[in-house]
């Protein structure tokens, strides 16, 4: 268990609450930004590596881009918002004055199989859903696919301890209080495929089980349990383990509210999980909700009276494409620009930065994949001709990222719903797989060529030489002519000059030169 150092909270409504004061002081902005960034692992020295293997290890270092992460400019605002929401959730659940919390637990037990009506609980907490949380009860982080919503929140959550154990607490009056309480400041869950209410509740129980290492799913959940049975267990566990906030990712998969126009209508049993259903369970006992989802999540918030009112009070944040003039894109590009690994004349950094933004519309996930593909592609040219240029970026984007042209065009025209409908990240996953596959095939082909070259020994006699020539001629006679692949563009000197690689073409026999493979 983690040792707790209590602070004296200057806010009177938080002072004297060990769940809040045990969180300690918040991190400063520069500390949060530094802790969330994960730069590219740089290539070590190649001094002791034979020169013929240098290009392989350069591409190996370029692959490190896939593990890079630079936090968006909004990272500290989100960290601070999360902290204040956790504090708000604990204000009415003070273990140093546990009478109210114990009344809630008793009411949950008394409501039995009527958890959704919650007559006893409402008598304690109030009739309104937000009686326990007048501020900081709900927040929405919505954004485009690939904008970095989930990665950003996961890294922020990792800055906080998920498990604290309280034993002895000294209150502001100097009284020593024995608490013996486990505290879980946050829980993180994901909603997939609009599953039903039971599946969602079991997901929450599983998250509590992972945090506490207590087998609640196998010990306390029965096959025949109703939705009300599961709500009762979830509420008891949230109160027992002092859960500060519930972070719900993939919130776009939450179903629309059937009773959206009537807050007083009873929730329907065992249907798809809705915003109203989630609010009733958690906000009713003072647990704030932090939603993460695509822009389509905004429709769910707009249809529900309570949640939309809360969003106006507590705010929300939209993550779209990064601003090319913003601090994030500058830091981001400087980190992923690995031109120093290539030998050639590169276009100015400012030009490359702006062109990458133009091609990818400021979506970090796509920008990293494109930069990785372009650098790998140019690394296969002769030294001196490996310069990364605007034309080279455009060429690789046209050839390898054609599936993303439509969604990115929609994004450029601010047709965000069309961008999401075209599922660009699913295409990006396939593109990255193809890039990795081509890299493996390229390296394998290179090794085989070197192996074949070594096996070509000089014959000892004229008779052996004649036999070897006849053997090679026989191979040529039997060889089948392979049809040209339509999708591979014919590369001539004009196109090579366009993308800034003067020696793109290899010298070949016949009237036309052969084409170097465009693997990256």
Bridge partners of 181, per DSSP, are 166
Q: What is the mean pLDDT of residues 384-405?
A: 94
Higher per-residue confidence, 224 vs 308: 224
What pLDDT score does 264 carry?
44
* 381 vs 387: CA distance, rounded Å: 9
Per-residue pLDDT tens over the stretch 49-72: 999 999 999 999 999 999 999 999
Greater pLDDT, 39 or 469: 39
Locus of tokens 């204000």: 91
In terms of Cβ atoms closer than 10 Å to its own Cβ (0-12, 13-18, 19+), residue 484 is exposed
- Percent of the chain exceeding pLDDT 70 equals 74
- Assess contact for 254 and 300: CB atoms under 8 A: yes
- Residue 479: pLDDT band with limits 50, 70, 90: low
Helix (H) or strand (E) holding 83: helix 75-90
Q: Which CATH number fits domain 27-36+73-93+132-319: 3.40.50.300, 3.40.630.30, 3.20.20.150, 3.20.20.70?
A: 3.40.50.300
- Angle, helices 29-36 vs 149-157, to 10°: value is 110
Break the chain into its structural domains and give their ranges: 27-36+73-93+132-319, 40-71+323-413
State the Cα–Cα distance between residues 507 and 511, nearest whole angstrom: 10
Q: Is 74 or 132 the better-scoring residue by pLDDT?
A: 74
Distances (CA, A) of 150 to 75, 144, 153, 470: 12, 11, 5, 64
Q: What's the rounded Cα separation, in Å, for the pair 356 and 348?
A: 12
Kindly indicate the confidence band of residue 15, based on its pLDDT and cuts at 50, 70 and 90: very high
In tens, the pLDDT along 70-88 reads 999 999 999 999 999 999 9
415-456 residue pLDDT tens = 887 777 666 655 555 666 665 666 565 556 555 555 554 444
pLDDT band at residue 472, thresholds of 50, 70 and 90? Answer: low
pLDDT band at 144 (very low <50, low <70, confident <90, very high): confident
Task: Tell me the Ramachandran region of residue 127: left when phi exceeds 0, alpha when psi lies from -120 to 50, beta otherwise.
Answer: alpha
Give the tokens for residue 305. 């009276």
Query: What is the C-alpha separation between 277 and 265, in angstroms, rounded?
Result: 11
341-371: per-residue pLDDT in tens?
999 999 999 999 999 999 999 999 999 999 9
Q: Name which residue leads in pLDDT, 310 or 291.
A: 291
Percent of the chain with pLDDT over 90: 50
Q: What pLDDT shows up at residue 213?
A: 94
Q: In 3D, which of 243, 222, 228 has the Cα closest to residue 109?
A: 228
Query: 155 near 79, Cβ under 8 Å?
Result: no
Whether the predicted pLDDT of 475 surpasses 50: yes
pLDDT at 194 over 80: no
Tell me: pLDDT of 459 over 50: no
Nearest CA-CA partner of 364 in 323, 402, 421, 418: 323
Which pair of tokens denotes residue 132?
């326990």
Q: Which of 390, 342, 377, 398 is nearest to 517 (CA)?
A: 377
φ/ψ of 182, rounded to 5, equals -90, 135
Higher pLDDT, 10 or 97: 10
Alpha-carbon Rg for the chain, nearest whole angstrom, is 30
Q: Who's near 388: CB < 8 A, 6+ residues apart?
A: 339, 342, 344, 346, 347, 352, 374, 375, 378
d(CA 184, CA 123): 26
Task: Collapse the DSSP code of 513 into the 3-class scheme (helix H, G, I; strand E, B; otherwise coil) and give the result.
Answer: coil
pLDDT at 468: 58
pLDDT at 504: 40
Q: Is the pLDDT at 474 greater than 80, yes or no? A: no
Please give the average per-residue pLDDT across 130-156, as a whole number.
Answer: 85
Q: What is the pLDDT of residue 415?
A: 83
pLDDT (0 to 100) of residue 458: 43
pLDDT above 50: residue 221: yes
Q: Is 282 exposed, middle or buried (0-12, 13-18, 19+ CB in 10 A)?
A: buried
Instruction: List all residues 6 or more positions away from 196 whose beta carbon is below 8 Å from its beta carbon.
Output: 270, 271, 272, 273
Over 90: is that where the pLDDT of 92 sits? no
Q: Which residues pair with 384 in a beta bridge?
A: 344
Q: Could you give the CA distance from residue 507 to residue 502 in angstroms, rounded to a whole number? A: 13
Joined tokens for residue 94:
């003070």
Q: How far apart are alpha carbons 32 and 114 in whole angstroms?
A: 44
User: Alpha-carbon distance 344 to 385, whole Å?
Assistant: 5
Pairing of strands 138-143, 289-293: parallel
User: Rounded to two decimals, what is the model's pTM?
Assistant: 0.76
Q: Give the pLDDT mean for 38-53.
A: 92
Mean pLDDT of the chain: 81
Structure tokens at 166: 């309280």
Range picked from 269-278, 425-434, 441-450, 488-497 for highest mean pLDDT: 269-278
| Residue-level pLDDT at 502 | 47
pLDDT at 324 over 80: yes
**Residue 25: exposure state from Cβ atoms within 10 A (0-12, 13-18, ≥19):** exposed
CB 126 within 8 A of CB 283: no
Cα–Cα distances in angstroms (integers) from residue 404 to residues 359, 360, 429, in the given order:
10, 9, 11
Alpha-carbon dihedral sign for residues 60, 62, 63, 69: positive
DSSP result, 104-170: HHHHHHHHTT-TTT-HHHHHHH-SSGGGS-SSSSEEEEEE-TTS-HHHHHHHHHTTS-S-EEEEEEE
Distance CA 402, CA 373 (A): 13
Alpha carbons 360 and 363: distance in angstroms, whole number = 6
pLDDT of residue 101: 86
Q: pLDDT-based confidence at 261, cuts 50/70/90?
A: very low
Nearest to 367 by CA among 59, 34, 37, 69: 69
């Amino acid at each position: 268990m983690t040792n707790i150092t209590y602070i004296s909270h200057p806010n009177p409504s938080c002072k004297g609450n060990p769940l809040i004061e045990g969180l300690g002081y918040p991190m400063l902005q520069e500390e949060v930004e530094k802790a969330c960034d994960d730069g590219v692992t740089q290539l070590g020295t190649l001094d002791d590596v034979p020169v013929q293997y240098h290009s392989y290890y350069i591409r190996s270092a370029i692959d490190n881009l896939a593990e890079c992460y630079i936090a968006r400019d909004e990272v500290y605002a989100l960290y601070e918002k999360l902290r204040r929401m956790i504090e708000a959730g604990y204000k009415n659940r003070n273990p140093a004055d546990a009478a109210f919390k114990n009344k809630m637990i008793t009411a949950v037990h008394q409501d039995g199989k009527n958890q959704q009506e919650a007559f006893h609980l409402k008598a304690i907490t109030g009739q309104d859903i937000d009686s326990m949380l007048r501020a900081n009860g709900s927040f929405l982080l919505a954004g485009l696919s690939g904008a970095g919503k989930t990665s950003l929140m996961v890294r922020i959550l990792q800055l906080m301890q998920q498990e604290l154990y309280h034993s002895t607490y000294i209150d502001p009056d100097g009284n020593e209080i024995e608490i013996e309480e486990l505290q879980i400041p946050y829980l993180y869950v994901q909603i997939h495929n609009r599953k039903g209410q039971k599946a969602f509740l079991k997901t929450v129980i599983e998250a509590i089980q992972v945090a506490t290492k207590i087998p609640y799913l196998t010990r306390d959940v029965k096959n025949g349990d109703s939705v009300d049975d599961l709500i009762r267990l979830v509420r008891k566990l949230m109160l027992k383990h002092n859960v500060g906030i519930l972070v719900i990712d993939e919130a776009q998969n939450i179903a629309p509210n059937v009773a959206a126009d009537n807050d007083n209508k009873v929730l329907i049993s065992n249907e798809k999980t809705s915003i109203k259903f989630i609010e009733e369970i958690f906000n009713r006992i003072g647990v704030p909700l932090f939603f993460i989802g695509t822009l389509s999540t905004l429709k769910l918030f707009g249809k529900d009276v309570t949640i939309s009112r809360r969003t106006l009070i507590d705010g929300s944040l939209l993550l779209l494409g990064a601003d090319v003039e913003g601090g994030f894109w500058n830091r981001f590009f400087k980190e992923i620009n690995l031109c120093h690994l290539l030998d050639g004349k590169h276009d100015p950094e400012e030009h490359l930065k702006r062109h990458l933004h133009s091609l990818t519309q400021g979506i970090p996930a796509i920008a990293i994949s494109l930069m990785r593909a372009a650098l790998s592609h140019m690394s296969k040219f002769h030294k001196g001709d490996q310069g990364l240029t605007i034309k080279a970026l455009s060429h690789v984007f046209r050839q390898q990222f054609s599936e993303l042209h439509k969604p990115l065009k929609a994004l450029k025209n601010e047709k965000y719903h069309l961008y999401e409908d075209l599922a660009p990240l699913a295409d990006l996953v396939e593109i990255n797989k193809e890039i990795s596959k081509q890299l493996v095939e390229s390296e394998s082909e290179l090794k085989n060529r070197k192996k074949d070259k070594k096996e070509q020994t000089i014959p000892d006699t004229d008779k052996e030489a004649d036999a070897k020539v006849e053997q090679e001629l026989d191979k040529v006679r039997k060889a089948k002519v392979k049809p040209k692949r339509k999708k591979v563009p014919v590369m001539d000197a004009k196109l090579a000059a366009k993308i800034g690689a003067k020696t793109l073409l290899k010298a070949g026999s016949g009237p036309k030169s052969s084409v170097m493979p465009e693997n990256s």
